[in-house]
Amino acid sequence: MVRPQWIAALLLAIAVAAGFAWLGRWQLDHAIRVDPGDTESISETVRPLTGLTGPGEAVTDRAAGMIVSLDGALVPEDLTVVEGRAQGGRVGAWVVGHLSVRPEGHLAVALGWAPTAGDAERAAASLRENPDAIDLHGSVEGRYMPSDGAVAPRADEDPSRVTTMSVGQLINLWQPFDGPAYAGYLVLHPHAPVDTVLSAAGLSPIDSVPPLPAETVNWLNLFYAAEWVVFAGFAVFFWYRITRDAWEREHESKALAARADDHDDEGDA
């Protein structure tokens, strides 16, 4: 099996197997497709919120991450701070409010980001003192996001401290209101003059990140990729079998020749 012809055959088998493996990798790369164009064109097109979902309805893929517009008014008494919100590699806090949506419904809205919870508290206090300064009456635009899960505070933590965008938890902090609430929340896209007011209060616009592109799986390409892997293994196995068979035949011939020589020696004796 270490003769030149079998070594050459092994190199050929390895080359063939490598070719099959490359074809399998190519098929695998084309089996999972990501089309960011379609996802971005859908999510970044402004649509009426009422056309995607309604108050009391679960947040589905149809509405999650979409930029929406709505007609609503901010309830300044319900401003609160949500801690532990990352932005630009830093962890700070959001100032979050309560939108009264027309014709019906109530919606949590994230207004802006501050570097620390203390900065966010001061910004919220400033906005509460000047409710007319932040006028969200009329058309409001932002990205509609699904609610975070509520996190129970530890025994040594302040129970009133909010660390997640849990819509249910936020609603419990609002003043009593009539009507249903939306299951998701809005990341505000501030526009003039609101952005100037928020900036003066020490808030930065919140990063509005579009949803990840959808991935589609081509099962036929996956099947072809598996086939090429099998072919690659068979190429090496084929070399092993033919060299093994040749080695067995060679040793069998030598054994027969040795027995024949022994028989001739016995006859001469």
pLDDT for 263 equals 60
Residues 160 and 208 in one domain: yes
Confidence of residue 7 (pLDDT cuts 50, 70, 90): confident
Range of the domain at 104: 37-216
Tokens of 112: 């802006």
Residues 143 and 26 in one domain: no
Instruction: State pLDDT tens for residues 72-119.
Output: 888 989 999 999 999 999 999 999 999 999 888 999 999 999 999 999
Residues 144 and 251 in one domain: no
Angstrom distances, CA of residue 233 to CA of 6, 9, 114, 224: 18, 15, 58, 14
Residues 211 and 224 in one domain: no
Q: Is the pLDDT of residue 216 over 90?
A: no
User: Which residue in this structure is represented by tokens 């030598």?
Assistant: 254
pLDDT for 215 equals 64
User: Which residue in this structure is represented by tokens 């001469």?
Assistant: 268
Residues 148 and 210 in one domain: yes
Residues 115 and 54 in one domain: yes
Residues 172 and 255 in one domain: no
Residues 263 and 161 in one domain: no
Confidence of residue 13 (pLDDT cuts 50, 70, 90): confident
Angstrom distances, CA of residue 204 to CA of 33, 146, 160, 184: 36, 22, 24, 22
Residues 157 and 137 in one domain: yes
Instruction: State pLDDT tens for residues 255-268.
Output: 777 776 666 555 55
Residues 107 and 235 in one domain: no
| Domain count within the chain | 2
Instruction: State pLDDT tens for residues 225-262.
Output: 888 888 888 888 888 888 877 777 777 777 777 776 66
Instruction: State pLDDT tens for residues 158-214.
Output: 777 899 999 999 999 999 999 999 999 999 998 867 888 899 899 999 998 887 666
Residues 148 and 209 in one domain: yes
Instruction: State pLDDT tens for residues 26-54.
Output: 877 777 765 555 555 677 889 999 999 99
Residues 229 and 144 in one domain: no
